[in-house]
């Protein structure tokens, strides 16, 4: 019914997921959505109507615990005027719809940026960048939209790559990914050129740079002593 994180970017940008709406925000408090009756409705019906707003979903999550203790088994969707009783796990379904919708929006923005940037470069006669963007655009549709990657000890996902394709600010994770790729490429070139060990270059992760910037504060050295340290030369 839903996409998993290994589905391709092409799959997610073409996936039909409902809009999110605040229309139901004032219908009823979250606690009144839960009833003790057994669920009777097919959750697939929910794909035909807007997802409750973020505030409404928050109310439903907060009301779930007390409702569960009272023996509630169903959630009444107010889209249907109380006529449809869904399993309580549809709250998880809605949350997953929101996550997929957010991912879809992110990738669509990146793809649009690639297309627009390619057109701008073409007008400037920058054929090299145009060819590069075309390659990126082609490979995007084979890339998993949110699969786990090896960067940052496996704590990064492919959706973070979308940030590179646009005007978003880069976070530390993005910079560390670039540093790792650059380090690996540099190591390959050094091996191919039979580098001299004493001339080997090492690119440190961003956390090391932060430590260098803050080391004087941590050590509390005088300017005279700090100027003679190796740390000062690196800085």
Per-residue pLDDT of the chain in tens (235 residues, 90 and over written 9): 789 999 999 999 999 999 887 765 445 556 678 888 888 888 888 888 888 888 888 888 888 888 888 888 888 876 666 667 889 898 899 999 999 999 999 999 999 999 999 999 999 999 999 999 999 988 988 899 999 988 877 788 999 999 999 888 888 888 888 888 888 887 777 676 665 555 566 677 667 776 766 766 666 767 766 666 666 665 5
**Rounded distance between C-alpha atoms, residue 202 and residue 180, angstroms:** 11
Count of CB atoms situated within 10 Å of the CB of 95: 15
User: Angle at CA 136, nearest 5°, toward 167 and 99?
Assistant: 60
At residue 171's C-alpha, the angle toward residues 166 and 177, to 5°, is 90
Tokens 């084979």 map to which residue? 142
What 3-state DSSP class applies to 220? coil
pTM of the model: 0.76
Cβ–Cβ under 8 Å, residues 52 and 94 = yes
CA distance 215 to 44: 57
């Amino acid at each position: 019914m839903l996409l998993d994180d290994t589905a391709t970017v092409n799959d997610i940008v073409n996936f039909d997921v409902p809009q999110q709406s605040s229309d139901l925000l004032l219908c009823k408090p979250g606690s009144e959505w839960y009833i003790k009756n057994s669920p009777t409705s097919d959750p697939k019906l929910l794909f035909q109507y807007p997802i409750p707003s973020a505030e409404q979903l928050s109310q439903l999550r907060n009301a779930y615990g007390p409702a569960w203790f009272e023996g509630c088994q169903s959630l009444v969707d107010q889209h249907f005027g109380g006529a449809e009783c869904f399993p309580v796990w549809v709250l998880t379904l809605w949350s997953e719809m929101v996550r997929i919708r957010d991912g879809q929006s992110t990738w669509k923005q990146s793809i649009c940026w690639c297309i627009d940037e390619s057109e701008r470069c073409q007008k400037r006669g920058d054929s090299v960048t145009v060819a590069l963007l075309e390659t990126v655009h082609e490979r995007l549709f084979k890339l998993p939209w949110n699969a786990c990657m090896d960067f940052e000890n496996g704590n990064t996902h492919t959706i973070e790559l979308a940030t590179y394709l646009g005007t978003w600010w880069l976070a530390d994770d993005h910079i560390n990914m670039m540093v790792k790729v650059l380090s690996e490429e540099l190591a390959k070139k050094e091996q191919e050129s039979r580098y001299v060990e004493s001339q080997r270059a090492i690119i440190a992760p961003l956390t090391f740079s932060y430590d260098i910037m803050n080391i004087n504060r941590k050590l509390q050295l005088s300017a005279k002593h700090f100027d003679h340290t190796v740390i000062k030369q690196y800085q």
